[in-house]
Structure 1
Amino acid sequence: MQFLCQQTQLNIKKAADSILSGKVVGFPTETVYGLGANAFNEQAVRSIFKAKGRPNDNPLIVHVSSLNMFNSYFNQKLPRTYELLINEFWPGPLTILIKSPSQIPAETTANLNTVGVRIPYHPIARALIECSGVPLAAPSANSSGKPSTTTALHVYEDIFQRKEAREVMDYIIDGGRSDIGLESTVIDGITVDGKVRVLRPGGVTVEDLKRVVGDDNVVYEKMEIKTADFKPTTPGMKYKHYSPKARVLLLMNDSNTNKSDKIKKLKELIESLDTNDKIGMMTLEDSLMTNELMNINKSSNNLIPYFIGPSNNPSIVASNIFAGLHSLDKHQVEYILVEGVEERNEGLAIMNRLYKAAGNLENVILI
């Protein structure tokens, strides 16, 4: 893959050489920024866990640049559902769970016999992988448990401030803001019954999957709280994720509450927080909740708004979730009030992340 900008080409070559030397590189994808290393180099993969402070029983997703690279490293018979979905969504934000080859280190798969693989569509991501000549194990480029990063600046301000990361990481490639803003959808289609199970909703919606392989062939069940001995098959299934320094309060619309009661509940909530610090708010730009919180702010002047997009465009909302959490954390707010959305289309992935950012049911509030 060639770029018209010679400097971009040279920078990708430098980053690829760093990867081949066993280092870790921050790089852009269409979903979020990744922290990439040679997926088949045991020590390099350990460096990813060191840089992030990530538990080593949390498996990594492997990224390849093309179907040729996929077949070279992961050649195996795939179910028909995978063939259909690959044809429709690769390159793109879809990760498929497959049988792991014997050569791949246990560190990459967290000692599982499966591994998640995808082809990103971001040109810099694919060029970096192609130039390196090896698949890249790449979780999101953030400190473990913190919000995923969607810009190079986020990566620098978060993970690169960790001494452990700077010891194994020489480069962050700036490829602009990630388009989608949420991680890839992860599916398992190699179970005995042949169903496609959505392990993590993301950039490809459940509705998209059903459109390609049929409603009856797609299964999605909300993840419950996991016990200590649970073994996750893909990232985001076990540990606390996406949480900023501030406490996240997820505000859910109660259809049984009338407008005046909603306003009363919002005022009572703000008063109950009893803080001298600023309070962040991430809300839909055209919602009743936004309107009333801004009215409240006229008298209190302690709210910092970050509008995540219009209610009729969940793609825009999805792209702003992590950016909003990073932005409000920089304001050093004590709380972030986040407005929930309908759990359909991209809304399913949005709410998956927001529930985890809130951390527990005590932080989910009906308004």
Structure 2
Amino acid sequence: MSKTNTGRFFEDYRLGEMIDHAVPRTVSGGERALNHMLYPARHALYSSDAFAQGCGLSASPLDDLIVFHIVFGKSVPDISLNAIANLGYADCRWLAPVWPGDTLRSTSEVIGLKQNSNGKSGVVYVRTTGTNQHGQEVLQFVRWVMVRRGDPDAPAPETVIPELKDSVAASDLVVPKGLDFTDYDFTLAGEPHRLRDYTVGEVVDHVDGVTVEEAEHMLATRLWQNTAKVHFDATAREDGKRLIYGGHVISLARALTFNGLANAQMLVAINGGAHANPCFAGDTVRAWSEVLDTAPLDAPGVGAIRLRLVATTGGEVGALKGDDGKYLPHVLLDLDYWALMPT
């Protein structure tokens, strides 16, 4: 009997199955430093304890996307080791801050299965939950991933496509306890723009670009313990290329939003997302955002802004899909999310 793990294939999943993912991870300030090394991340709340304390928190928590990457990475050996591609996200909420010293673990529930018409792969839908050492939920999200079949002759699971929310309601957003933006320091944050300065339908060109290097992508996949073969094994794809981890593109694009959205400090939900086209080393990632909605919240001085973040390799700002309804070939990421911003 083999002692090694070759990963699950599409036919190995069962609807309703609960999977406890291995190797809990205790996080430290090292994650923050490495995150800043990999991405041009500059949002003040995640850069400075003093700034965070001025906003009512005890210290600077770990960046929301660090938490996302770690919780996501824990699920990879059981969900997407044999993935062709991660396809999308929905109903994602950050539920509690994560601090240096916390230990994170992940569990996933299989909530949907659909074999592709070619019979060589299928789509697996899972709801993944990240918890800390106290059993407190810190993050929950749904994602769907295309997974290879191991045995083309094995019976296909029954098709079940889950009903997913179109968006997270503003009333369901979780604001960290104590967060207070009434004495927010716009000078230290880097921009003067408040929530009321943005209008629905406004498009913000984030101007800057970052060229993706093979080395930094490999560092990222190892840092987040993401072992999906298509990301680190150049022989896993017929073209001999390593597919850039979609979360790497998300973090790059989010970091680029600092220029124009420096005060969109905390991600609190992802309503939906799609990796529209693959990203490879040598691509230069650019980003633009569209304001979709704004909402008042109960926390003092705190409001929510809903944004569509689009990462591209070029093309016209604001151009997303062609006449056929398909994403244009230069679009890498289409992400719909809520962030907290001073009113």
Give the TM bin, normalised by the shorter chain.
Answer: under 0.3
Q: Larger strand proportion, structure 1 or 2?
A: 2
State the structure with more CA Rg.
Answer: 1
TM-score between the two structures when normalised by the length of structure 1: 0.24
Q: Larger helix proportion, structure 1 or 2?
A: 1
TM-score between the two structures when normalised by the length of structure 2: 0.25
